[in-house]
A and B are shown apart, each in its own frame.
Chain A
């Protein structure tokens, strides 16, 4: 709870910075504030406590995911320092990002559907604005418009689902809904199931799962690169945290109804994301499709709803966020130079900057799921959870689509090491290089300590 207040306060502070002339110090203040918020959050570990008439429940699950979200945002601020330097209204951008983070944290700790809805809306509305923040760029405008239209539509589905479930249960509270469904498993009215399906549609859209993923590539492609990085990491993490929390607590007694839907959607998402990513020439667009595919793997863990899938989702999101941030730090440099982000832009990087090339390779290998990177263990635990729940066909599909994934991730690695060029048109040095090394090294270190992370939850 204190974390939400701290983050919201930090957002207001960044708005005040223009009036009271401390814009120069703002960046450091935000970093310190985020670090403090992480500290506050960690202090609450193991003290599950429910606040304000059970509106939020700060349990270990909520704390783990909020700390992940805040750490990713902290890293994101480091990564996008150059973006903030070039923007004329940096403090407004920072404020919106912090408010979005506040919404994302609400989505990890809600124990009432009204909090879920408000958290989701804070996150979505901030993202609509940030997608269009490159005002003079037509693609950015298109991205914002598309995201806004589709997002508003999906929110409608979600709200309708919440309304139908409220109509049956008479409460927004997660534990009340869980108790009610537990007691009336066999005579739940049809509209309750309709409500679950509508909730699923809304959430599938937010995590960009297969039949509802059409917006993702265009929006990810058109938005400013750093904003795309934020969407691919923070927004996705928050959406999955909310998805698991909602379905594992509320509807666990009717799981036979929804696990098959999620399993089929997961299979479709993995295949669609990976196959379409192969055909992309732009690296940014390829990463957009790959993020759709990653959503499919995480949905697998949701379908295999069990105690171990919680930790598996957490580990997967850590690994995925780290390597995504690393790759996007490089993409950001490329886009700032106004270079095309065709795969060939990476040609010869291994010769001109071997360290950066090695780190990009680690990030790519982690995303592709090659041992011993963190991404491999994320996939491993998810596959294990799915196998334990009897989804053998789903695991086979996932392995197959991972193999397709390896192909396009290796295209970049191959370009770096076997490209003919001696030099590249861009340089990676200073903070971005440090950042890249950080995410590469962390991907390896986390790969070593996966057991600890999975058993944390």
Chain B
């Protein structure tokens, strides 16, 4: 079944690239692996027949957010000496905490029901047209109220970055 093969391949690729994001020593490499990870996740959207989400994901995450990340890395100039020294106790604590989390997640997954993998049946679900219909009809109010959210975020950004006139 080609669908399930592509699902497994994509999932494996995204997990591996996510691991590389964490493990690579150089921040720019991390960012590159993150881009790859975003692409594989975008592949999942395509499998689920969500074309619009696929496009938006690529443009916003792999495009805009990644540029932002690169700018930040450029500005903060990460050197080896700058890295804070971590004590062995902290490292051991982190390992224990992470291990406990792993245990909890495994226990939770063991008890969870499995739902058989299905290819998307509805052909038109993820098309822009349908999304627009839902967004401007049913979800018109949240869509409009979100503008208040962006407005307050913008005013806030101006407020915080404005130079104080003393």
Contacts and interface: CB of A to CB of B under 8 A. Distances in A.
Interface of A: 4, 8, 11-12, 15, 51-53, 55-56, 88-89, 92-93, 95-96, 99-100, 102-103, 106, 112, 114-115, 118-119, 121-122, 125-126, 128-130, 132-133, 135-136, 189-191, 194
A118 B137 CA distance: 17
B92 interface: no
Given A53-B137, A106-B145, A119-B145, A92 B108 contact: no
B162 interface: yes
B141 A121 contact: no
A130 B157 CA distance: 11
Nearest to A129: B156
Given A15-B155, A96-B159, A129-B159, A55 B142 contact: yes
B117 interface: no
Interface of A is mostly: helix
Contacts of B155: 15, 92, 95-96, 99, 129
A135 B148 contact: no
The 6 closest A-B pairs by CB, nearest first: A129-B156, A99-B152, A52-B141, A55-B141, A114-B142, A122-B149
A245 B82 CA distance: 48
B160 interface: yes
Contacts of A121: 149
Given A89-B162, A95-B155, A190-B112, A115 B145 contact: yes
B81 interface: no
A52 B108 CA distance: 38
Interface string B119-162: 00000000000000000011111100110110111011111101
B148 A89 contact: no
Contacts of B159: 89, 92-93, 96, 129, 133
Nearest to A121: B149
A194 B112 CA distance: 10
A135 B164 contact: yes
B113 A189 contact: yes
Contacts of B139: 53, 55, 114
B113 A99 contact: no
B111 interface: yes
A190 B146 contact: no
A170 B75 CA distance: 44
B48 to A, nearest CB: 13
A8 B112 CA distance: 44
